[in-house]
């Protein structure tokens, strides 16, 4: 253990005068970095506002067509037909739950 302490004591650490510093301002993005960041923020805000405008249009159009989801639960009353659809049930399909033969 004393050998390790002797080796550490024999090799002194470099003095602070041996450390070279980079030029001042070398790590700063400067004016160009500010302009690029500012333009990126302006573009993001513009895209956000455009998306909001388009979502409002879609919502307004859905309300006109009676397709809006107002969160009241069952949407069968919005159609006005009591929930009847012309779409076949899964059991009516040839590969549905009631199918015989099991082709797979």
pLDDT band at residue 88 using 50, 70 and 90 as cut-offs: low
Burial 52-91 (b: 16+ CB within 10 A, else e): eeeeeeeeeeeeeeeeeeeeeeeeeeeeeeeeeeeeeeee
Residue 75 has pLDDT above 70, yes or no: no
Q: What is the pLDDT of residues 36-74, one digit of tens each?
A: 999 999 999 999 999 999 999 999 999 999 887 765 545
Q: Give the start-to-end residue ranges of the domains of the chain.
A: 40-64
pLDDT for 23 equals 63
Per-residue model confidence (pLDDT) at position 14: 60
**pLDDT tens for each residue of 21-37:** 666 656 788 999 999 99
């Amino acid at each position: 253990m004393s050998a390790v302490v002797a080796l550490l004591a024999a090799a002194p650490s470099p003095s602070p005068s041996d450390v070279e510093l980079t030029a001042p301002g070398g790590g700063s993005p400067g004016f160009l970095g500010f302009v690029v960041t500012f333009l990126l923020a302006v573009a993001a805000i513009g895209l956000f506002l455009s998306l909001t405008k388009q979502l409002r249009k879609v919502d307004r159009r859905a309300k006109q067509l009676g397709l809006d989801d107002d969160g009241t639960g069952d949407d069968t009353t919005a159609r006005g037909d009591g929930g009847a659809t012309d779409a076949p049930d899964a059991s009516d399909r040839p590969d549905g739950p009631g199918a015989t033969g099991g082709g797979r």
